[in-house]
Amino acid sequence: MAPRLRSVENHRAERVGVPAPAPADLGAATASVRGLSRRFGDRAVLDDLDLDIAPGEFVALIGRSGSGKSTLLRALAGLDRSVTGELTVNGTVAVAFQEPRLVPWKRVLANVCLGLRVADARAAAGAALAEVGLTERADAWPLTLSGGEAQRASLARALVREPRLLLLDEPFSALDALTTITMHRLVVRLWAHHEPAVLLVTHDVDEALTLADRVLVLAGGRIGFSCRIEAPRPRDRNQPELTALRTRLLAELGVDTEGTK
Ligand code: ADP
Ligand code: MG
User: Closest ligand 1 atom, CA of 201?
Assistant: 2
Residues 71 and 132 in one domain: no
Residues 153 and 213 in one domain: no
Question: If you take atom 5 of ligand 1, which residue's CA is the nearest one?
Answer: 68
**Domain assignment of residue 28, yes or no:** no
Q: What CA–CA distance (Å, rounded) separates 169 from 62?
A: 11
Of 146, 162, 178, the one marking the end of a domain is 162
Ordered DSSP codes for 2-13: -----EE----S
Q: What CA–CA distance (Å, rounded) separates 46 from 174?
A: 26
**Domain assignment of residue 215, yes or no:** yes
Q: How far is CA 69 from CA 3, 27, 86, 173, 207, in A?
A: 20, 24, 17, 14, 15
Of 162, 181, 201, the one marking the end of a domain is 162
Give residue 135's pLDDT: 98
Residues 238 and 187 in one domain: yes
Residues 85 and 154 in one domain: no
Q: How remote is the CA of residue 118 from the centroid of ligand 1, in Å?
A: 35
Give residue 27's pLDDT: 56
**Domain assignment of residue 226, yes or no:** yes
Structural contact between residues 49 and 37, judged by C-beta atoms closer than 8 angstroms: yes
Residues 130 and 243 in one domain: no
Helix (H, G, I), strand (E, B) or coil at 145: coil
Of 162, 182, 198, the one marking the end of a domain is 162
Helix (H) or strand (E) holding 111, with range, is helix 108-113
Question: If you take atom 13 of ligand 1, which residue's CA is the nearest one?
Answer: 66
Residues 47 and 168 in one domain: yes
Pocket of ligand 1 (CB under 6 A): 40, 45, 63, 65-71
The domain in which residue 147 lies consists of 104-162
Structural contact between residues 86 and 35, judged by C-beta atoms closer than 8 angstroms: yes
Q: What CA–CA distance (Å, rounded) separates 9 from 136?
A: 45
Question: If you take atom 23 of ligand 1, which residue's CA is the nearest one?
Answer: 40
**Domain assignment of residue 216, yes or no:** yes
Residues 147 and 244 in one domain: no
Give residue 223's pLDDT: 97
**DSSP for residue 146:** -
CATH of the domain at 179: 3.40.50.300
The one-letter code for the residue type at 204 is: D
**Domain assignment of residue 259, yes or no:** no
**Domain assignment of residue 9, yes or no:** no
Helix axes 147-159, 121-131, angle to 10 degrees: 130
Residue 89, beta-bridge partner list:
31
User: pLDDT per position in the chain (261 positions), as tens?
Assistant: 444 444 333 222 222 333 444 444 545 899 999 999 999 999 999 999 999 999 999 999 999 999 999 999 999 999 999 999 999 999 999 999 999 999 999 999 999 999 999 999 999 999 999 999 999 999 999 999 999 999 999 999 999 999 999 999 999 999 999 999 999 999 999 999 999 999 999 989 999 999 999 999 999 999 999 999 999 999 988 899 999 999 999 999 998 776 554
Give residue 36's pLDDT: 98
**Domain assignment of residue 18, yes or no:** no
CB atoms within 10 A of CB 177: 7
Q: How remote is the CA of residue 172 from the centroid of ligand 2, in Å?
A: 12
Residues 222 and 178 in one domain: yes
Smallest-distance ligand from the CA of 97: 2
Residues 87 and 172 in one domain: yes
Q: How remote is the CA of residue 94 from the centroid of ligand 1, in Å?
A: 21
Smallest-distance ligand from the CA of 64: 1
**DSSP for residue 119:** T
Residues 157 and 171 in one domain: no
Residues 72 and 126 in one domain: no
Q: How remote is the CA of residue 192 from the centroid of ligand 2, in Å?
A: 26
**Domain assignment of residue 58, yes or no:** yes
Residues 168 and 249 in one domain: yes
Q: What CA–CA distance (Å, rounded) separates 52 from 34?
A: 9
User: Closest ligand 1 atom, CA of 72?
Assistant: 6
Question: If you take atom 7 of ligand 1, which residue's CA is the nearest one?
Answer: 70
79 contact partners, CB below 8 Å, separation of at least 6? 95
The model carries a pTM of: 0.89
Residue 157, phi-psi category: left (phi > 0), alpha (psi -120 to 50), beta (remainder):
alpha
Total of domains in the chain:
2
